[in-house]
């Protein structure tokens, strides 16, 4: 797509505003963009170029970069709405436009509305698209974003940058074949764009309050390593006889024990670390606080399963990027040292949560710090140790 000529208009306070005139229909249409914009680069995006071309098919479209943005002059402060409004006037004057339909998109909405109210005779129509009065929450503006939400967005943008890096890397390395999809639970296998695969494997059932509760471990097939999250249990023990465990240990399943490179324990309750001895010599990542509690607190777990011969822990203090796109994140609540595994998928993350919630209701209405933290990640799904299906957020508008 050819880039229309870029011209400059000068505002009353001396700022140079870059603009373009596209199309030659009778009606003038001024497009007031939101957030970021660059009138040269927008034509390189087929979707945007198509969008503007369609608008210009029935109008004389005036496109501009507002002050501080794109090809227009930089400014030192956050400009007032009045100053931004003068960008529109300057462009219209320079383009010989007496009156125009003013199209305010997103953050451009308030500026467009102020222009229409200030210059009614120069405004033939006001169009608001995805616009809002302001961004931040206040008592009289409950639709605004709270500081907490803004922080979440910020984290999402940062994650987005990291995802791009992961995707580039996996694209270079080519498709990675999964060898575990045939395992039980494989029907739940989800293939993420970054070819990180998560497969639940059922290793036991326990009797809890009269009902059978499954125990799952999760295999994360990452291009760089195969990671096992929790290890279930492999034998009976008098301390937990009342739970009437029925076992399907990994060592008795068609499961490639040698293929596991890294083990992560979400926490060290007996039904999560009972198979650690199968992975002696391989690194087992656990939060230091969890390890300390398991070794020092009474009735916490079955201690000989924690420190079985040859088991080697890598204590972690806080968050850790274990592999590209795969993070360990503390999620205290069920235990003080509980951690979850956050997997970047190219979209919303997937979480392997262990017992961050023992049943779905605990994530529907989060209470613990860990549950709140997991919800703040806005995950697509959360795998839990004691549920057959992954938890998904209820659809939000
Ligand atoms: Zn537990």
Residues 255-270 have pLDDT tens digits of 999 999 999 999 999 9
What is the distance in A from the centroid of ligand 1 to the CA of 374? 17
What is the distance in A from the centroid of ligand 1 to the CA of 272? 7
pLDDT number for residue 95? 97
Confidence of residue 161 (pLDDT cuts 50, 70, 90): low
What is the distance in A from the centroid of ligand 1 to the CA of 304? 17
Q: How far apart are the first and last CA of the chain?
A: 36
Beta-strand relationship, 60-64 and 28-32: parallel
pLDDT number for residue 193? 42
Q: Indicate the CATH number for domain 160-383.
A: 3.60.15.10
What is the distance in A from the centroid of ligand 1 to the CA of 178? 29
What is the distance in A from the centroid of ligand 1 to the CA of 380? 23
Query: Whose structure tokens read 């306070």?
Result: 13
Closest CA to 14 of 102, 96, 76: 76
Up-side HSE of residue 285: CA atoms within 13 Å toward CB? Answer: 23
Tokens, residue 242: 């009342």
Name every residue whose Cβ is closer than 8 Å to that of residue 61 and which is 6 or more positions away in sequence: 20, 21, 22, 23, 29, 31, 52, 55
Q: What is the largest CA-CA distance in the chain?
A: 89
What is the distance in A from the centroid of ligand 1 to the CA of 328? 17
Closest CA to 120 of 130, 131, 112: 112
Cβ 82 vs Cβ 114: under 8 Å? yes
What is the distance in A from the centroid of ligand 1 to the CA of 191? 27
What is the distance in A from the centroid of ligand 1 to the CA of 57? 63
pLDDT of 157 above 60: yes
Bigger pLDDT: 188 vs 72: 72
Cβ 226 vs Cβ 266: under 8 Å? no
Mean pLDDT score of the chain, rounded to an integer?
88
pLDDT of 162 above 80: no
What is the distance in A from the centroid of ligand 1 to the CA of 244? 16
What is the distance in A from the centroid of ligand 1 to the CA of 392? 21
Closest CA to 85 of 135, 5, 28, 17: 17
What is the distance in A from the centroid of ligand 1 to the CA of 389? 18
Cβ 337 vs Cβ 290: under 8 Å? yes
Which 8-state DSSP code applies to residue 372? H
pLDDT of 376 above 70: yes
Q: How far apart are CA 32 and CA 65, in angstroms?
A: 8
Q: How far apart are CA 269 and CA 287, in angstroms?
A: 13
pLDDT number for residue 180? 33
Name every residue whose Cβ is closer than 8 Å to that of residue 47 and which is 6 or more positions away in sequence: none
For residue 75, what are the CA distances in angstroms to 9, 66, 78, 98?
A: 15, 10, 8, 27
Confidence of residue 171 (pLDDT cuts 50, 70, 90): very low
Beta-strand relationship, 60-64 and 100-105: unpaired
- CATH T-level assignment (fold) for domain 7-134: Rossmann fold (3.40.50)
pLDDT number for residue 139? 86
Name the 3-class secondary structure at 345: coil
What is the distance in A from the centroid of ligand 1 to the CA of 242? 16
Q: How far apart are CA 333 and CA 371, in angstroms?
A: 8
What is the distance in A from the centroid of ligand 1 to the CA of 371? 14
Cβ 358 vs Cβ 334: under 8 Å? yes
What is the distance in A from the centroid of ligand 1 to the CA of 239? 15
Q: How is the chain split into domains, by residue range?
A: 7-134, 160-383
Q: What proportions of the chain, in percent to the nearest 5, are helix, strand and coil? A: 30, 25, 45
pLDDT number for residue 164? 54
Residue 140: CB atoms within 10 Å: 5
What is the distance in A from the centroid of ligand 1 to the CA of 200? 17
Cβ 353 vs Cβ 383: under 8 Å? yes
What is the distance in A from the centroid of ligand 1 to the CA of 177? 32
Q: DSSP for 226-280? A: EEEE-----S--GGGGGG--EE--GGGSS--GGG--EEE-S---HHHHTTGGGGT
Q: How far apart are CA 55 and CA 188, in angstroms?
A: 45
pLDDT of 174 above 50: no
What is the distance in A from the centroid of ligand 1 to the CA of 355? 5
Rounded percentage of the chain residues whose pLDDT exceeds 90:
71
What is the distance in A from the centroid of ligand 1 to the CA of 395? 28
What is the distance in A from the centroid of ligand 1 to the CA of 198? 20
pLDDT of 227 above 60: yes
Up-side HSE of residue 247: CA atoms within 13 Å toward CB? Answer: 18
Cβ 124 vs Cβ 100: under 8 Å? yes
What is the distance in A from the centroid of ligand 1 to the CA of 344? 24
Q: How far apart are CA 370 and CA 379, in angstroms?
A: 13
């Amino acid at each position: 797509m050819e880039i229309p000529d870029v011209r400059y208009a000068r505002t009353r306070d001396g700022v140079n505003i870059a603009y373009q005139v596209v199309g030659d229909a009778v009606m003038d249409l001024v497009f007031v963009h939101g957030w970021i914009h660059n009138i040269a680069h927008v034509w390189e995006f087929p979707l945007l170029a198509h969008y503007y071309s369609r608008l210009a098919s029935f109008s004389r479209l005036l496109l501009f970069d507002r002050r501080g943005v794109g090809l227009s002059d930089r400014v030192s402060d956050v400009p007032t709405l009045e100053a931004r409004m003068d960008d529109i006037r300057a462009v219209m004057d320079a383009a010989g436009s007496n009156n125009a339909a003013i199209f305010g998109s997103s953050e451009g909405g308030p500026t467009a509305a102020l222009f229409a109210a200030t210059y009614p005779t120069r405004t033939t129509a006001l169009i608001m698209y995805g616009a809002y009065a302001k961004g931040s929450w206040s008592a009289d503006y409950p639709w605004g974003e709270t500081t907490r939400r803004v922080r979440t967005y910020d984290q999402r943008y940062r994650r987005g940058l990291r995802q791009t890096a992961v995707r580039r890397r996996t694209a270079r390395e080519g498709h990675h074949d999964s060898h575990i999809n045939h395992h039980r639970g494989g029907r739940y296998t989800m293939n993420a764009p970054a070819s990180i695969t998560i497969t639940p494997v059922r290793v036991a059932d326990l009797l809890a309050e009269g009902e059978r509760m499954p125990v799952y471990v999760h295999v994360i097939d990452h291009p760089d390593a195969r990671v096992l999250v929790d290890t279930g249990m492999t034998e009976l023990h008098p301390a937990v006889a009342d739970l009437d465990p029925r076992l399907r240990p990994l060592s008795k399943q068609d499961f490639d024990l040698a293929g596991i490179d890294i083990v992560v324990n979400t926490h060290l309750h007996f039904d999560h670390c009972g198979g650690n001895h199968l992975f002696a010599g391989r690194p087992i990542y656990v939060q230091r606080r969890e390890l300390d509690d398991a070794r020092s607190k009474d009735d916490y777990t079955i201690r000989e399963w924690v420190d079985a011969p040859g088991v080697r822990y890598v204590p972690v203090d806080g968050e850790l990027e274990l592999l590209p796109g795969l993070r360990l994140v503390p999620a205290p609540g069920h235990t003080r040292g509980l951690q979850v595994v956050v997997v970047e998928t190219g979209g919303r993350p997937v979480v392997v949560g262990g017992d961050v919630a023992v049943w779905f209701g605990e994530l529907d209405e989060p209470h613990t710090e860990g549950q709140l933290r997991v919800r703040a990640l806005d995950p697509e799904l959360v795998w839990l140790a004691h549920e057959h299906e992954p938890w998904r957020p209820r659809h939000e508008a």
